[in-house]
Amino acid sequence: MFSRKFLRLKSQINISLRGIKTSEIFKKDIRSSDKPPRILITGGLGQLGTECAKLLRKNYGSENVILSDIIKPSNESLSNGPFIFADILDFKGLQKIVVNHQIDWLIHFSALLSVIGEQNVPLAVRVNIEGMHNVMELAKQYNLKIFVPSTIGAFGPDSPRNPTPNTTVQRPRTIYGVKPYTKLPMMYIDDCLNSLFQFLNVPDEMLKKRTYNVTAMSFTPEELFNELRKHIPDLEISYKPDSRQLIAESWPQVFDDSEARNDWGWSHKYDLKRLVSTMIQDVSENFVPKYQRLKEVNSYV
């Protein structure tokens, strides 16, 4: 679920999209604009943050996308573009960053996920709620465009499950288990990043709301296992569900993202078959050779 909020003080223009091919909007090279946006990514050293930075730097220039976090970055992260320390709970520090780096857009990934949050609820409340409040205040004070994603964990047992509409009750619970027939919405990371980039660049007047569901597929562990068996015939799998399985069973099974598809042309590229074949290829090319080399080294030790 994505949320984008424009806090610029400007009038809204209602236009009809009939006859307009939405896909054409994204053919424009964003780098051709006179002044690319200055972008800050909070909580940026996770998988989404680092991949998001690569995508945005490719389109807006490395120096215009600033990655931030409270943990030590790898040498690779430092070499790819600007990195700064930023604590989402330090509002004055965030103000200095926005002013000193002339930030226009803020992409907010800073959050504690379910497992860690349950272990330290007071900290989770501060990071996830107070941190979000700080981002909203920054946007209001400095006229920023902000982007805030949330996960399936934002929904709870009172939410409609199949499909889950774009606007619905949430009342979330927390961590989850797994068993063969637990069906959940999924996206490959390339689709996730593509939807993020499209959403950030949609003209404001095309958006009929500020929060959209985006999804690509829904499948169960058993369906994933069957697809994997096409590539690895002798693959075996076992399940060990626990009490937290009840939480997973309360989550949405299928997201309704028709509003994102209709309003701004969202369309995924990866279904389950393509996702599995892509992952198999990636593992074969990047991880299996390393594992084999490690075995060879160990044989001499």
pTM listed for this prediction: 0.67
Look at residue 216 in the predicted model and tell me its pLDDT: 92
What values do phi and psi take at 65, rounded to 5?
A: -120, 115
Q: What domain count does the chain have?
A: 2
Q: Are residues 265 and 143 part of one domain? A: no
Q: Are residues 102 and 212 part of one domain? A: no
CA distance 148 to 43: 12
In a domain, 28, yes or no: no
What values do phi and psi take at 40, rounded to 5?
A: -110, 130
Look at residue 229 in the predicted model and tell me its pLDDT: 92
Residue 137 CA, chain-centre distance (Å), reads 22
In a domain, 20, yes or no: no
Look at residue 254 in the predicted model and tell me its pLDDT: 79
Does the active-site annotation cover 176? yes
Instruction: With both helix axes pointing from N to C terminus, report the angle between 131-142 and 91-100 in degrees, rounded to the nearest 10.
Output: 40
Residue 219: its H or E element: strand 217-219
Q: Are 215 and 18 in contact (CB under 8 A)?
A: no
Average pLDDT over residues 144-159: 74
Range with the poorest average pLDDT among 40-54, 131-145, 207-221, 283-297: 283-297
pLDDT tens-place string over residues 233-289: 888 888 776 655 656 566 667 788 999 999 999 999 999 999 999 998 888 887 766
> Quick check: 297 pLDDT over 70?
no
CA distance 7 to 12: 12
Q: Are residues 179 and 84 part of one domain? A: no
Q: Are residues 158 and 142 part of one domain? A: no
Look at residue 211 in the predicted model and tell me its pLDDT: 85
Range with the poorest average pLDDT among 17-26, 87-96, 108-117: 17-26
> Quick check: 163 pLDDT over 50?
yes
Of 120, 150, 180, the last residue of a domain is 150
Residue type, 141: Q
Q: Are residues 167 and 296 part of one domain? A: yes
Of 167 and 103, more confident: 103
Q: Name the band, by pLDDT with cuts 50, 70 and 90, for residue 149.
A: confident
The two structure tokens encoding residue 38: 């200055």
Domain at 259, CATH number: 3.40.50.720
Average pLDDT over residues 5-17: 32
Q: Are residues 55 and 136 part of one domain? A: yes
Q: CA-CA distances (angstroms) from residue 207 to 47, 124, 196, 257? A: 28, 31, 14, 14
- Of 60, 176, 212, 270, which one is the catalytic site residue? 176
pLDDT tens-place string over residues 167-194: 665 655 553 344 566 677 889 999 999 9
Q: Are residues 257 and 125 part of one domain? A: no
The two structure tokens encoding residue 93: 């520090």
pLDDT tens-place string over residues 63-84: 999 999 999 999 999 999 999 9
Look at residue 146 in the predicted model and tell me its pLDDT: 92
> Quick check: 221 pLDDT over 90?
no
Query: Average model confidence (pLDDT) for the chain?
Result: 78
Structural domain span for residue 173: 154-301
The two structure tokens encoding residue 296: 């060879």
Look at residue 262 in the predicted model and tell me its pLDDT: 93
Quote helix, strand, coil % in the chain, to nearest 5: 45, 10, 45
Look at residue 268 in the predicted model and tell me its pLDDT: 94
pLDDT tens-place string over residues 114-126: 667 667 878 888 9
The two structure tokens encoding residue 103: 């930030």
